[in-house]
């Protein structure tokens, strides 16, 4: 039995990172205001850490497109796997050649390409898809802000987010359905 309503628990879980970062910021501010010398320095460093945590938490919130989509995403340190009701596949991060966002379907899909293999299409609402921000952000030349802004845009089309060798790019392409 829970004393917290399910919708409140869901909101707390969704905003957990922001709440923790806010707590770290508050603690750092308190130490800066009350302390001097070493305690003030520790407070300043804690404020800096809290600001970094807040930036990361807000980015994760912006990346989270919701839940309830088909399939499950598994993230390994070297690969991304998607296991859906109709399709699936695994892409090695070292072999990833392009990342696209396909807005033509419902829900919107991430399209991961690698040479010699079928594209892996991952619904943005699939279970575990919120964890894709880390691997995507680690791609060489990827600008996280660009990725997040493209994810929030509405409208149709297939947008090339990243391509190996060219870095971050923003061109709209129209590929045949997969």
d(CA 13, CA 73): 19
Stated pTM of the model: 0.66
Peptide bond preceding 107 in cis form (omega within 30 of 0): yes
Q: For every one of its 178 residues, what pLDDT tens digit does the chain have, with 9 covering 90 and above? A: 567 787 787 777 778 888 999 999 999 999 999 888 899 899 999 999 999 999 888 877 766 766 667 889 999 878 999 998 888 899 999 999 999 999 888 888 999 999 999 999 999 888 888 888 889 988 999 888 888 888 888 777 888 999 988 644 444 344 444 4
d(CA 175, CA 115): 16
């Amino acid at each position: 039995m829970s004393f917290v309503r399910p919708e409140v628990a869901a909101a707390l879980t969704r905003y957990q990172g922001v709440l923790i970062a806010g707590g770290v910021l508050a603690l750092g501010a308190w130490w800066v205001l009350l302390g001097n010398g070493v305690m003030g320095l520790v407070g300043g460093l804690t404020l800096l850490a809290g600001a970094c945590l807040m930036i990361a938490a807000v980015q994760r919130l912006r990346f989270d497109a919701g839940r309830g989509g088909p399939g499950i995403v598994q993230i390994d340190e070297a690969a991304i796997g998607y296991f859906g009701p109709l399709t699936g596949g695994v892409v090695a991060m070292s072999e990833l050649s392009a990342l696209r966002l396909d807005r033509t379907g419902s829900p919107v899909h991430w399209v991961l390409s690698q040479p010699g293999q079928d594209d892996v299409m991952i619904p943005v609402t699939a279970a575990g898809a919120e964890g894709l921000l880390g691997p995507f952000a680690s791609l060489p030349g990827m600008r996280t802000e660009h990725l997040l802004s493209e994810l929030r845009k509405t409208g149709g089309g297939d947008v090339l987010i990243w391509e190996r060798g060219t870095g971050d790019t923003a061109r709209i392409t129209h590929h045949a359905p997969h």
